[in-house]
Amino acid sequence: MSTDTSATPVLQARGLVKRYGHVTAIDGADFDLMPGEVLAVIGDNGAGKTSLIKALTGAIVPDEGEIRLGGRPIRFGGPQSAREHGIETVYQDLAVAASMDIASNMFLGRELRRPGVLGSVFRLLDKKRMREEAAAHMADLKIGLRSLTQAVETLSGGQRQAVAVARAVAWARSVVVMDEPTAALGVRESGQVLDLIRRVRDKGMPVVLISHNMPHVFEIADRIHVHRLGRREALIKPTDHSMAEVVAIMTGALTVNSDGGTVVTDADAARAAGVSAH
């Protein structure tokens, strides 16, 4: 799909700064996520991707800069506050409770209680309704799992990732952020997770995808945010650049100028990467 860049960004940041002592992890970073797009965030190790994402999802509070959600300035006091604003994050380490079943994982921390005093006084869980709703979410995303009463630890890596994604999508109202969702997966399972991300996008939910996997990024992203030295170096479409060019932008061998062309900034590195300006 092509991104409508004239719309109001779903999530936007301008001039974010985050310092840890002498280290500036975010150094004046901008960010723009448009409605209905998959935006990949890429960058070398230590470029500051995680810090940027943490600022956008409430896990850290930036020292400077502004974040806007749906066009309105916002300050997240913590991850819970970002979640309350409809931003859900799927973490790399898969924060699922392995010994619990799929439905319980979907409702982890947001359990449904039985109606009446059974729920309000005796705190009894409404397991039947949680299973029904979990099944509906799974069906909605076409995630085929044999039984929702199965413990998550008995699932494959790809299936676990699917449960984590389904949980995020079930609760997200504005954005789903995924940190390296295919990092621990084999080829077939990665393909299934990429298909799932497409379905999430096709439901109208924008996705931010942090990834080191360039083929996956090129396969799925509508746009690519290239992060370098703590800030956004470029915001490009995968259809406008080769993978080698994007890697060269990431490492500082090429930069993108205002009309979308590229300029060689490090001749040796650009030669080594086999790219030239255009």
Ligand X SMILES: Nc1ncnc2c1ncn2[C@@H]1O[C@H](COP(=O)(O)OP(=O)(O)OP(=O)(O)O)[C@@H](O)[C@H]1O
Least Å distance between CB 241 and ligand X?
20
- Choice between 47 and 152, CB closer to ligand X: 47
The least distance separating ligand X from the CB of residue 274, rounded to whole angstroms, comes to: 24
| 124 versus 184: smaller Cβ distance to ligand X | 184
Q: Which is nearer to ligand X, 46 or 109 (CB)?
A: 46
Least Å distance between CB 74 and ligand X?
A: 21
Q: Which is nearer to ligand X, 22 or 188 (CB)?
A: 22
Which residue number, 51 or 251, has a Cβ lying nearer to ligand X? 51
Report the site for ligand X in 77-136 (rule: CB under 6 A): none
User: Least separation, in Å, of the C-beta of 4 and ligand X?
Assistant: 28
DSSP the chain: ----TTSPPSEEEEEEEEEETTEEEEEEEEEEE-TT-EEEEEE-TTSSHHHHHHHHTTSS--SEEEEEETTEEE--SSHHHHHHTTEEEE-TT----TTSBHHHHHTTTSPPBPSTHHHHTT--B-HHHHHHHHHHHHHHTT---S-TTSBGGGS-HHHHHHHHHHHHHHH-SSEEEEESTTTT--HHHHHHHHHHHHHHHHTT--EEEE-S-HHHHHHH-SEEEEEETTEEEEEE-GGGS-HHHHHHHHHTSEEE-TTS-EEES-HHHHHHHT----
Location of structure tokens 């299973």: 131
Subset of 5-44 contacting ligand X (CB under 6 A)? 20, 23, 25, 43
* Terminal C-alpha separation, the chain: 25
How many residues bind ligand X, per CB under 6 A?
Answer: 11
CB nearer ligand X, residue 89 or residue 159: 89
Find the shortest distance in angstroms from Cβ 170 to ligand X.
27
Interface map 45-84 toward ligand X (x if CB under 6 A): xxxxxxx---------------------------------
Q: Which is nearer to ligand X, 20 or 122 (CB)?
A: 20
Query: Which residues fall within 8 angstroms of residue 11, CB to CB, at 6 or more apart?
Result: 31, 32, 33, 56, 67, 68, 69, 87, 174, 175, 206, 208
Q: Please identify, using beta-carbon distances, which residue of 49 and 241 lies nearer to ligand X.
A: 49
- Nearest distance from residue 94's CB to ligand X, in Å? 16
* Residue 100 near residue 167, CB atoms below 8 Å: no
Binding-site string for ligand X from residue 241 to residue 270, where x marks contact by CB under 6 A and - marks none: ------------------------------
CB of 23 to ligand X, least distance (A): 5
In the complex, least distance from residue 235 CB atom to ligand X, rounded to whole angstroms? 17
What are the residues binding ligand X (CB under 6 A)?
20, 23, 25, 43, 45-51
